[in-house]
Structure 1
């Protein structure tokens, strides 16, 4: 048995498969006879010394995590600043790690989490504390640098494509006497990956979604309204998919929820679909419906992608392997080796190449007219939503999800005043 303890924590918005990564982490660690603690509510749990003994979770529950959405140990949106600005917090973190003999720290999240893991690794080196830090990728936005795709995205993309295809059939059926335009809002602050995934719902130019609005392209309201009118006149109805982060030519978000900023410094968004629907109704006179799937996009485990599930578990296993091998300040990244047939592998990449970098949609993935995806985008996206991995269902007709039973770890330090 390796000497020391592994600490695992989840961060940021959860996904349909982040618990699958947790399941793989716990199973891989058990196979190496390594004790695992989990922090409740991400890095806050570590700072508060609010830890659970994940090694004592029954194996059946560990396995069931692989088909359970949400965040089994709780997540948080809490950003640590620079080591200089938040030095007391980083020092507190090192104290907690030392008190529980934590030698491996796995932080499962997105860009900000990679940045935190990198900073913790540097501080541990400064304090001469033997710690290996691994950033474990997760985000439905698919905007992490270096990795070909990000666990969580494939399932959210599948949900988006399926939802848009099904809604389009509804709109088409009602268009003669009712709804002419349907607007679907997809998550994506700066990167239009989820909006692009909606493009998989159709094949031909008249198939839904006929219009996709990407944050990588400036939004032109007049051109948009003219496009909607042309589609309705030609097809009889129109489905619009809009990324929540679309901006006008001056860089202003088309929809700002007015909720200020979150802990990561992000403007609170939401409502672009309702805004666009209102403009279409007022300017063109069409009956419009709109939807804001919001959390549904990232929690829809019932329609998860098998590819995504397999990749989520693969990075979890690799994270433990990299940690035990002493590959500090790294992240398990997915590398695509072939499009057809689709093949991929997992490799270690340096966290400083991931943290504070953002992967937006390549220009070659967006059609020249700015309203749809190209064949290159389709080749990239299609393999990521392939395969079904449904959860088991109970007699009540609902998925059999699990809530883990992990005993709390007794604190050894004074309460954190923060």
Structure 2
């Protein structure tokens, strides 16, 4: 039986370490050339497969692939494109199988979050019924840290480190100027339904009473009066108040504080900015001078301050995906398992995609303080190991030196184009 080629694609919002997973996949595949032929990468994620735009990874040097480990963003291009259900549009999935068959692809590695886990599972299932079985392995990636069955998600640890450091530094700035300037500072971070990133702001605290003084989680219904009272009390006592707010903060009825009234490609509500919404409350109700900042893409692209733990785990799940595939595994995800004991350790196990796809993991209530504005010691114990260690990229002329790839496409073999 001839060996099959592999297809790798990046999905959804990129991270500081998703390319480390790509590095792990490609290096492991090159070490298993007796079972895996060429590696192709999707140009702009799954769209690359639908449009038959496959990047020939064999043309990339070993040095360029190794440099992916310290390069942020999505080196092959990612996309926000949710495949419809099999019932609504079977043609999309059949097109993927046709492209894989044309290029003799037998391994599918999809690097993303919950939606991509669902796609991975469906391709595995449909390929069997079409008589061209594909070994589909999902590689976890999401800054939101909301995938089930894995202790944490590659990409999260580096965002958490960035948010903790930024909160600490901004708080020092505000504290030094609050006598005559800003009284309230609000940092808005990502996290639509799960407050993991917002919680990481608490890691800036060295002792009780340190900033951030208020954290707003999607899991805790927003109480305007309680919030404003806490802001005023903190300013009265400390002279200033620092807030870390999740973009998904919502009222008791589930309405987002910052609902922009539209949806994205995945059907998710577009959020219009919780920080300015809160700032307007502070100004109109309390008359306090404020400043706010939006971490936005900066938090997920900050490879210069990545967590060493995160980099190691991202690379490891990429390698593990290939090792699982050559061992004959299918429809699974390499999951990070936290070890027992006081000293942090981790290992990798298999998680079935049937239990991963379209399932969100939220902050446990016992990780959030009783008043809903902070984290508990249990929450801190969970978060702290994930931001440990520094893994600085090489620098040139004072800025990080990141790699770019050739990204040369292979010749198309199918006679028809596909509009996606």
Q: TM-score range by the shorter chain?
A: over 0.9
Alignment partner of 1:126 is 2:129: yes
Please state whether the residue corresponding to 1:149 is helix, strand or coil.
coil
Deviation track 1:216-270 (CA, whole Å, cap 9, x = no partner) reads 0100111100000001111111101110001111111000234x11111101114
Q: Give, in whole Å, the separation in 2 of the partners of 1:262 and 1:339.
A: 42
Shift of 1:338: 2.9
**1:30 match:** 30
Alignment partner of 1:362 is 2:364: yes
Alignment partner of 1:17 is 2:20: no
Determine if contact 2:19/2:69 at 8 Å carries over to the other structure: yes
Shift of 1:317: 0.2
Given the alignment, which residue of 68, 81, 91 partners 2:94?
Answer: 91
Determine if contact 2:19/2:72 at 8 Å carries over to the other structure: yes
Determine if contact 1:2/1:32 at 8 Å carries over to the other structure: no
Given the alignment, which residue of 277, 297, 302 partners 2:304?
Answer: 302
**1:403 match:** 404
Match runs of 1:46-65 below 5 Å: 46-65=49-68
Q: Give, in whole Å, the separation in 2 of the partners of 1:56 and 1:412.
A: 19
Q: Give, in whole Å, the separation in 1 of the partners of 2:271 and 2:71.
A: 27
Relative to structure 1, the CA distance from residue 377 to residue 220 in structure 2 (aligned partners, 3 Å threshold; closer, same or farther) is same
Q: Give, in whole Å, the separation in 2 of the partners of 1:104 and 1:378.
A: 39
Determine if contact 2:186/2:293 at 8 Å carries over to the other structure: yes
Please state whether the residue corresponding to 1:250 is helix, strand or coil.
coil
Deviation track 1:171-219 (CA, whole Å, cap 9, x = no partner) reads 0000111011100101000000000000100033320000001000100
Query: How large is the Cα RMSD of the aligned pairs?
Result: 1.1
TM-score normalised by length of structure 1: 0.98
Q: Give, in whole Å, the separation in 1 of the partners of 2:87 and 2:393.
A: 45
Determine if contact 1:106/1:135 at 8 Å carries over to the other structure: yes
Gaps of 5+ in 2: none
| Alignment size in residue pairs | 416
Deviation track 1:75-133 (CA, whole Å, cap 9, x = no partner) reads 01111121121101111111000000000000000000000000000100111212100
Gaps of 5+ in 1: none
Match runs of 1:236-385 below 5 Å: 236-258=239-261, 260-338=262-340, 340-385=342-387
Q: Give, in whole Å, the separation in 2 of the partners of 1:342 and 1:81.
A: 40
Q: Give, in whole Å, the separation in 2 of the partners of 1:66 and 1:399.
A: 13
Relative to structure 1, the CA distance from residue 257 to residue 339 in structure 2 (aligned partners, 3 Å threshold; closer, same or farther) is farther
Determine if contact 2:55/2:408 at 8 Å carries over to the other structure: yes
- Regions of 4+ moved over 3 Å: none
TM-score normalised by length of structure 2: 0.98
Q: Give, in whole Å, the separation in 2 of the partners of 1:351 and 1:317.
A: 18
